[in-house]
Structure 1
Amino acid sequence: MILLRLIAILLVIAGGLALAFGSFSYTQEKTALKAGPLELKVQDKETVTIPPWAGGGAIALGVVLLLVGGRKR
């Protein structure tokens, strides 16, 4: 019961963050060339866009889990 509520709260928070920010970016380092002792590394900046329906769906699922988890069996 407590685990279900914790998951529900995390879903609501994650959904709210997804709606608030909409995307996040990260830097990935790749080795482009390796010839003996020489290495050429390239950094790529990637951006991941989170669709608004995913954030809204996470919030809705979290609310449903909170409501269902609060019932006594």
Structure 2
Amino acid sequence: MGSLRIVAIILIIAGVLAVVYGGFSFITETHQADIGALSLSIDEKKYVNVPAWAGVGAILIGGILLVVGRKG
């Protein structure tokens, strides 16, 4: 399996996930205060929105790469 085909498959999978879920979330830990041995920290959940057009574009580009990879 060539590297072009692997990139195409990854783009298609990422595009489908972007269209289905619309984004992803992650947690960042921020340290608010350190007082001696006492440490206070806060976990913040952040969400990144992925536009639907970006997901569809990734699917199309992945499909094009698959077709070009077969001909080459």
TM-score normalised according to structure 1 size = 0.88
The Cα of 1:47 is off from its aligned counterpart by: 0.8
Identity, in percent, stands at 44
Structure 1 CA distance for aligned equivalents of residues 24 and 12 of structure 2? 18
Gaps of 5+ in 1: none
Structure 1 CA distance for aligned equivalents of residues 58 and 46 of structure 2? 23
Residue in 1 aligned with 2:14?
14
- CA offsets, 1:30-73, max 9 Å, x none? 1011122221101111111110111011111101111111113x
Residue in 1 aligned with 2:63?
63
Alignment of 1:1-73 (within 5 A): 2-72=2-72
TM-score normalised according to structure 2 size = 0.89
RMSD: 1.3
